[in-house]
Homo-oligomer: A and B are copies of this chain.
Amino acid sequence: MAKIPTMFSLRHLLVLSLALNVSLVLRIVYESEQGCKLFWLKKLIGTSMAGDDSERETHIVQRARLSVSNFSTRSGDHEGGERVINLDHGDPTMYEIFWRQMGDKTTITIPGWQSMSYFSDITNICWFLEPEFAKEVVRLHKVVGNAVTEGRYIVVGTGSSQLFLAALYALSPHDAAQPKSVVSAAPYYSSYPSMTDYQKSGLYRWAGDAQSFDKDEPYIELVTSPNNPDGYVRRSVVNRTEGALVHDLAYYWPQYTPISSPADHELMLFTVSKSTGHAGMRIGWALVKDQEVAKKMTKFIELNTIGVSKDSQLRAANVLKAVSDSCGREGSFEEGESFFNFGHNVLAERWKQLRAAVQQSGMFSLPNFSPAFCTFFSQVLEAQPAFVWLKCEQGIEDCESFLRRHKILTRGGKHFGVTPDYVRISMLDRDENFNLFINRLKAIEG
């Protein structure tokens, strides 16, 4: 056996071993630090830690930067020059700021192999409904107190538009000699007539203003509350036994209107477009009391699109969860701003500015809302709708054309079944466009 050379005494070996220890300890500390640094770096730029997904990541980060830089550049142009402001649609981009502030909390990561099947839950009547999304829908209604979910079937749709069509399909008999009449009190949502009639269906047909409906036959009444375009709380107006009701509650959320009690109707429609601002997801849901109606609505969506995007359902579940999480118990707020507080505050400020501008101009009038107790905010509050239902005064007959000359695109009263001295204007655009709109409104003189 080889003897250790004399130059290697025990003392030498001890020093060597201690040096090795120090080196090993340093390596462990260094590696932990690197792991943490990488973790925080990736957290900061809001990407997943999937190392080989760099190309996709870069793309998303680039888009974000581009979008932010565009926004800053355009913000510098306070008067907006000759730029036309399009407030015809209710594009809910006002909410982008809130979701940016939330950072990674609502980022969703979907692996390539997930949700490949057509089916989500074959035990559910609505077999393409993602259970996670259904769970968050129920939870959010409980947190907000705006709808009864007990004893209801949930049907998910590609936005509430698809659910509106599914409801018409489900509530119309398939063997009737004549199509069923579909009515809504004017001013009604401008898309109802075209959505009802574009397929020239033999099952149902648009029959106009509910207030003048006098046929003695079965009908479907659409009750939008708060109403699009005017923001008023509504009830059905026809009230006959052979009527079926569809309650479109897209705007029955605390940022728009005081929540009086949980809505408890036969068939209620909701959408993420207006509740959370995620219009691009195309996700809506129906709460349906009658099992047969829920089955027929599901059948409609099966024949129309064979289900609803699972990716958007999963993302919507994430977003609804974040909204519920942001609300404290019994309407009080935890740390940070709750989603509804944000929405309520932005709209309160916008409505204040709008009322001041309208008063300054003297050319227009606005609806007034009676204050009511909101069970969510535990306060008496006024409605502050997602749209302004503006009336041109002083003999201006065509309000849409009048505002177009001032480079403001709106939607005229005739689309809503009333006179053209009214227009609907979106209140949900980005700050930049809203401010430009207010400035232009102020500058209009009689």
A residues whose Cβ falls under 8 Å from a Cβ of B: 10-11, 13-14, 17-18, 20-21, 24-25, 27-28, 31, 39, 42-43, 46-53, 56-57, 59-60, 63-64, 89, 91-93, 95-96, 99-100, 102-120, 132, 158-159, 161-162, 165, 169, 174, 191, 194-195, 198-203, 273, 277-283, 300, 303-312, 315, 318-319, 322
Contact = CB atoms under 8 A, between A and B. Distances in A.
A36 to B, nearest CB: 10
A11 B25 CA distance: 22
Contacts of A51: 39, 43, 49, 104
Contacts of A106: 111-113
B60 A114 contact: yes
A280 B115 contact: yes
Given A106-B111, A107-B111, A108-B110, 4 more contacts: A53-B105, A96-B116, A280-B311, A282-B309
Contacts of A306: 159, 161, 279, 282
A142 to B, nearest CB: 19
Contacts of A105: 52-53, 112
B46 A114 contact: yes
A303 B25 contact: no
Contact of A21 (B21, B49, B99): B21
Across the A-B interface, give the 10 residue pairs with the lowest CB-CB distance, nearest first: A106-B112, A200-B202, A99-B113, A50-B104, A24-B24, A49-B49, A115-B280, A17-B17, A309-B309, A280-B310
A275 to B, nearest CB: 12
Query: How many copies of this chain does the complex contain?
Result: 2
A411 to B, nearest CB: 15
A309 B158 contact: yes
A109 B112 contact: no
A270 B255 CA distance: 42
A48 B46 contact: no
Contacts of A119: 91
Contact of A104 (B21, B91, B111, B118): B111
Contact of A199 (B17, B28, B203, B279): B203
Contact of A48 (B28, B50, B99, B283): B50
Contacts of A117: 91-93, 279-280
Contacts of A104: 48, 50-53, 111
Contacts of A308: 158, 282
Nearest to A284: B305
A333 to B, nearest CB: 19
A21 B28 CA distance: 12
Contacts of A25: 24
A1 to B, nearest CB: 18
Contacts of A304: 161-162, 165, 304
Contacts of A60: 109-111, 114
A282 B303 contact: no
A137 to B, nearest CB: 16
A305 B113 contact: no
Contacts of A201: 199-202
Contact of A158 (B10, B96, B305): B305
A126 to B, nearest CB: 14
